[in-house]
Amino acid sequence: MKFTIEKSSLVTGLQRIQAIVQARTTMPILSNVRLETVKGGILLFATDLEIGLRDLLPAEIEADGTITVSAKKLYEISRELKQDAIRIASEDSEGILIRSGKSSFRLRGLPAEEFPSFPEIEETGRTAVPAAMLLEMIRKTAYAVSTDLTRMSLNGVLIHLSEQKGAPIKMVATDGHRLSLVSRKLPGLPSGGKSRKVIVPRKAISELKKYMEEAERGDVEIVFSQNHLVFQEKNYTLLSRLIDGKFPNYSDIIPKHNPHQLSVDREMLQGAVRRVSILSDEKTHAIKLALRKGEIQISSNHPEIGEAQEALSAEYQGEDLEVGFNVRYLQDVASAVNGAEIRMLFMDALSPSRIEDPQDDGFLAIIMPMRL
């Protein structure tokens, strides 16, 4: 194997896989990255056996070959090199020689045969989603993903694609205390013609999010299969194992007839909540919303330190109501709303509250109140 590659492209490619290679130590080879020469460049592949990332970096190939080397060390070396052009060569599977300007490094490797191969994907359908849309959907749902390891089926985002023509793509996340749902119309028709519900682990979602935040991206192809989901954008391919479990039937949970409607300026609410939360109890994170006609009063109470309250004028015509919330849940959902206003619908002090964005019909969130 022998090739010349531009520093910036190698560094970016290697940076993307750092979060994947570090985690596991049970199989030492998994801390390596697989390098393979292909037409027009170098194919990088790294995996932690939960997700896998494959990326094609443009390079000038002089001799073909495949090898695995420490992803962290290769990244650290290439990041520090002064010259733009990096020459990498290997004679056998023992390692590689990295040269740039007057620096040279010999990095030991492991044979590529021992590295897990990119699994064969038996594609059952695919759909293209504009990156900006996908990123927004992730931002509006990922915050509600559970971290409770005893309920693994909630440790991911549900992607729900209905078979009906013109039906939207939906993403849902919940941790049992709150739920967030986004649905969007797709510009094109998905292929495969079947209803699909897959649960994508948090890690894959967060890696994809990082990639899309790096720069402006084009359409992302989502490829479905029995065991995996693949996200493709140009040369970038992210593969994830799916969560093997049943996602709760979320449409049953969504309250449909909450009569008491509150509309309030989002930024004013966020500011007030932030201030009042300073004196909320560290254990319960509780704050109280007291709703009166035309006004809400937000308050917190720390038994040892003190209490805080702030009044906000708001559009409210329902009966007087006092509802307790975990302050973090309220802050998370407020940041997921784009519009200037946030709409909250209540039944009573203990039933789930429904949160809407008046400027986005496709967004819906639910928060379970706290008993005060």
Partner 1 sequence: MPFAEIVGQARAVEILQRELRTGRVPQAYLFHGPESVGKKRTALAVAMALQCRAAEADACGACPECRNVAAGHHPDVRFYSPQAKTRGAAEKIYIEQIRTLQQDIALRPMAGRMKIFVVDDADRLVEQAANAFLKTLEEPPDSSLLILVTAFPDRLLATIRSRCRTVRFQPLSPESVAAIVAREKGAGAEEAARLARFAHGSVARVLAVDYEAMTQQRAEFLEERQRCAGGDPAALFAFSDSFTRNSVQAAAFLEFLVTWERDLMALKLQGPDAALVHGDCAAALTREAESRGVADLLGRLELVEQSLRRLQRNVNARLVVEAALMPIIGELN
Question: Are the beta carbons of 206 and 23 closer than 8 angstroms?
Answer: no
Question: Are the beta carbons of 354 and 263 closer than 8 angstroms?
Answer: no
Choose which of 72, 107, 119, 235 interacts with partner 1 (CB under 8 A).
119
Beta bridge partners of 225: 123
Q: Confirm or reject binding of residue 121 to partner 1 (CB under 8 A).
A: no
Q: Confirm or reject binding of residue 227 to partner 1 (CB under 8 A).
A: yes
Q: Packing angle between helix 327-336 and helix 266-277, nearest 10 degrees?
A: 150
The site map against partner 1 for 160-199 (x = CB under 8 A) is ----------------------------------------
Looking at residues 323 to 342 of the shown chain, list those that interact with partner 1 (rule: CB under 8 A). none
How many other C-beta atoms are found inside a 10 Å radius of the C-beta of residue 13? 25
| Paired tokens of 61 | 């190939």
Beta-sheet pairing, 295-302 with 306-313: antiparallel
Find the helix or strand (DSSP H, E) in which 21 lies: helix 7-21
Q: Which is nearer to partner 1, 52 or 369 (CB)?
A: 52
> What minimum distance in Å lies between the beta carbon of 162 and partner 1?
22
Choose which of 22, 103, 226, 251 interacts with partner 1 (CB under 8 A).
226
Beta bridge partners of 99: 87, 104
Choose which of 89, 97, 152, 372 interacts with partner 1 (CB under 8 A).
152
Distance CA 71, CA 8 (A): 16
Q: Which is nearer to partner 1, 39 or 246 (CB)?
A: 246
| Paired tokens of 43 | 């194919």
Among residues 68, 70, 85, the alpha carbon closest in space to that of 4 is found at: 85
Distance CA 129, CA 250 (A): 23
Q: Confirm or reject binding of residue 124 to partner 1 (CB under 8 A).
A: no
Q: Confirm or reject binding of residue 27 to partner 1 (CB under 8 A).
A: yes
Q: Confirm or reject binding of residue 147 to partner 1 (CB under 8 A).
A: no
> What minimum distance in Å lies between the beta carbon of 115 and partner 1?
8
How many other C-beta atoms are found inside a 10 Å radius of the C-beta of residue 49? 13
> What minimum distance in Å lies between the beta carbon of 201 and partner 1?
7
Near partner 1 by CB under 8 A, which window of 95-103, 109-117, 189-197, 360-368? 109-117
Choose which of 242, 269, 314, 330 interacts with partner 1 (CB under 8 A).
242
Q: Which is nearer to partner 1, 80 or 114 (CB)?
A: 114
Distance CA 173, CA 346 (A): 21
Near partner 1 by CB under 8 A, which window of 21-29, 91-99, 260-268, 289-297? 21-29
Q: Which is nearer to partner 1, 26 or 249 (CB)?
A: 26
- Burial letters 37-47, b for 16+ CB under 10 A, else e: beeebbbbbbb
Q: Which is nearer to partner 1, 152 or 268 (CB)?
A: 152
Question: Are the beta carbons of 86 and 34 closer than 8 angstroms?
Answer: no
Choose which of 96, 243, 296, 367 interacts with partner 1 (CB under 8 A).
243
Q: Which is nearer to partner 1, 27 or 350 (CB)?
A: 27
Residues of this chain that bind partner 1 (CB under 8 A): 26-27, 29, 49-50, 114, 116-117, 119-120, 149-150, 152-153, 155, 201, 226-228, 241-245
